[in-house]
Structure 1
Amino acid sequence: MMLIVNALLPVLLVIAAGNVVARMGIITQEQWRGVEKVAYFLLFPAIIIHTVARTDFGALPAVGMAVTLLCSILVTATLALALRPLLQSRFRIDGPRFTSIFQGAVRWNTFVALALADEMIGPDGVALLAVAVVTMIPVLNVISVLVLARFAHGTAPGAGKILLDLVRNPFIWSTATGLFLNFTGLPLPTFFMSTLKILGSAALPIGIVCVGAGLNLGALRRPGPSLTTSAILKLGVMPLVAFTIAGLAGIEDKALVAVIIAMSVPTASGSYLLARQMGGDSKLMAEILTFETVLAAITMPIVFLLAF
């Protein structure tokens, strides 16, 4: 138990530190957006390329992990969709609100997951999470867009726009670059890899500080059916489904830890932007983001204690 707490607590404290700094007003909201972009487009790609390029993927159960993650997403997404009629009839939750519940139930915060993987797994953590990035991000982006297009009555982007967004996603292209370097065995100058290492060393602390800065604790209210449903699916059901499928797929040790991390972290901060762009309930989405991040401080230790 103490091993789990000692791994999770530093990440949670850094998130809290980011929120405190943001509330003090030392950095403006616009400046925070700039810091987020630096982490998103420069620092995280650096750590992913550096790690993936040097990882022996032959020793990783990549296929089993991918199957486990995809099945867990599809099961949770199907359950969320099955609950929609009940949420509508019992609690009068309309289409736009449902889309925020859906995104909160299936998407994941990659920043937090990578930081936890580094703390809990060590050098192989980012490489294992790279498998999750390649597996989950394309699928989650597509199904989130489809659900918003169906229920939010916003303007849905075309297939070309969705594909272009995926290609431009820093987590996708940096992982692809790392895989290319890994599989081709191209010799890289020492100074290049050292540069990536320096940049990557700043990625995790800055990324999770930004997560804390983005929390709006004032937006939290007494949890209603929307927040509760989304949080139960994301922080409870999805890790349970993943643990069950991982057992059937023979996933264990570090790979199992990586799977549980990917499945048990709170939802993605990018879900707010997508909700705003496609006619979802962005206010509810912001509340779900904050609620899940705070609640995950309690649920994640319980999940890991039960799983291991």
Structure 2
Amino acid sequence: MNFAQLLFPDFSLILCGYLICRYTALNRSVWQQVDSLVYLFLFPVLLFRSIVKSPLDLEAASSLIGAGLSLGVCAIALSYSLPYWPILGKRLDKRDHAASAQVGFRFNSFIALALAERLAGPEGLLLISVLIGFCVPLFNIGAVWPMARHANTGFLRELARNPLIIATSSGLAFNLMGFSIPAWLDPSVSRIGAASLALGLMAAGAGMELRTLRQGKLLAMSVLMVKHLLLPLIALGMSKLFGLNAMQATVLLAFSALPTASTCYVLAARMGYNGPYVAGLVTLSTLSGMLSLPFALGVLR
């Protein structure tokens, strides 16, 4: 499989967003509004539709769900254990670590959905949607709790108003209750979802920023090592431990090697942390994904 060709459409949109933001009148202030539109409306609609549109057999998907949640717990534990590592821990700024640890386990759902459909068609799209549905609440809890604790803000309030948690939990509830989107409404919902993929990837490119990483290089290297090296290796072990079939293993490996969520810096900035530093980590993670995805899908698989 030609992974460069497979990944080119997504990374070309990221590059397009970067170039438009840097060299046209559509600068960062414009893309901040696009971020909000995608995060608060377009992407939740896409998640909801992806989960609702196909009947979900929890028994058949239980192994993949178990492997995904186990991978997520390992990722969160590794990311937050960094300050306790010998030698390394004493050199990390605790506040910056609280804001940037989320980079080590969150994932770019836009790339996940686009990639899964090209890898495995509609079935792959459903499997990655199931992983997103179960892992987004876990990862958002992992991301919000340390920052809420350090910033003394309401943890439950932050979770309750998170649009991704609302979309995934309601989508899972609708699916399991047997509801579906009416045929007359589905084309409109589908187009909203398509818009979220393109705009989300371009917004990720527009948010790329490297200058803020001149300080905190050790923290950046540690978090990205967890995200792009250790997680694919753990995913390989989980796929064997849970006895996943070939398609499920492929989806889990792709899931483990994804770039981090472009909304990491939005969450960090909104909660009063060093947003530009986290944006730099998101940039490096996006670039690292060009290596970790072929590594996971080509070498490990």
Q: Shorter-chain TM-score category?
A: 0.7 to 0.9
Counterpart-to-counterpart distance in 2, 1:242 and 1:90: 25
Among 242, 246, 249, the residue aligned to 2:235: 242
| Distance change in 2, residues 1:207/1:271 (3 Å) | closer
Tell me the residue number matched to 2:160.
Answer: 164
SS in 2 for 1:57: coil
* Distance in 1 between residues matched to 2:227 and 2:257, nearest whole Å: 7
Do 1:149 and 1:156's aligned partners in 2 also have CA atoms closer than 8 Å? Answer: yes
Structure 1 residue 96: deviation in Å?
0.9
Letter in 1 for 2:44: P
- 2:151 counterpart of 1:154: yes
1:75 aligns with 2:71: no
Q: Once structures 1 and 2 are overlaid, which stretch shifts more, 228-237 or 28-37?
A: 28-37
Question: Cα distance 1:33–1:118, how it changes in 2: closer, same or farther (>3 A)?
Answer: farther
Cα distance in 2 for partners of 1:69, 1:178 equals 18
Provide the rounded CA distance (Å) in 2 between the counterparts of 1:228 and 1:106.
Answer: 14
Look up the SS of the partner of 2:153 in the other structure: coil
Q: TM-score, normalized by length of structure 1? A: 0.85
Q: Cα–Cα, structure 1 residues 119 and 219, in superposed 2: closer, same or farther, change >3 Å?
A: farther
Aligned-pair CA distance for 1:232: 0.5
Distance 1:251 1:83, change over 3 A: same
Rounded Cα–Cα distance in structure 2 between residues aligned with 1:114 and 1:120:
10
The answer (yes or no) to whether the contact 2:82–2:89 under 8 Å persists in 1 is no
Q: Which amino acid aligns with 1:106?
A: F
- CA apart distance, 1:15: 0.9
Structure ranking higher on relative contact order (CA contacts 8 Å, 6+ apart):
1
What residue number does 1:210 align with? 203
Moved more, 50-59 or 229-238: 50-59
1: distance between equivalents of 2:134 and 2:180? 27
CA distance, structure 1, for counterparts of residue 268 and residue 34 of structure 2: 22
Superposition map of 1:268-279 within 5 A? 268-278=261-271
In 2: Cα distance, 1:188 partner to 1:293 partner: 33
- Contact persistence 1:155–1:278 (CA under 8 A): no
- Give the TM-score normalised by structure 2: 0.87
State percent identity of aligned pairs.
25
For 1:113-124, list aligned pairs within 5 A.
113-124=112-123
SS at match of 1:72: helix
Whether the aligned pair in 2 keeps the contact of 1:100 and 1:284 (CA below 8 Å) is no
Q: Identify if the C-alpha distance between structure 1 residues 291 and 51 changes in structure 2 by more than 3 Å, giving closer, same or farther.
A: closer
How far apart are the structure 2 equivalents of 1:80 and 1:180?
30
In structure 2, the residue matched to 1:144 is 143
Alignment-derived partner of residue 27 in structure 1? 26
The equivalent residue for 2:225 is 232
- How many residue pairs are counted as aligned between the two chains? 301
- Is the counterpart of residue 99 in structure 1 residue 92 in structure 2? no
Cα RMSD between the aligned structures? Answer: 2.7
Distance 1:243 1:194 in 2: 37
The answer to whether the Cα contact below 8 Å between 1:102 and 1:230 also exists between their aligned partners in 2 is yes
Unaligned runs of 5+ in 2: none
User: For residues 59 and 143 of structure 1, what CA distance do their matches in structure 2 show?
Assistant: 24
Superposed CA offset, 1:198-242 (max 9, x none): 322322222211111111244454983111111110011112112
Q: Determine the C-alpha separation between the residues in 2 that align with 1:274 and 1:206.
A: 18
**Partner AA of 2:27 in structure 1:** T
- 1:59 CA drift (Å): 8.1
Distance, in Å, in 1 between the alignment partners of 2:65 and 2:139 is 13
Code of the aligned partner of 2:103:
G
CA shift for structure 1 position 25: 2.5
Are the structure 2 counterparts of residues 35 and 306 from structure 1 closer, same or farther at C-alpha, using a change threshold of 3 Å?
Answer: same
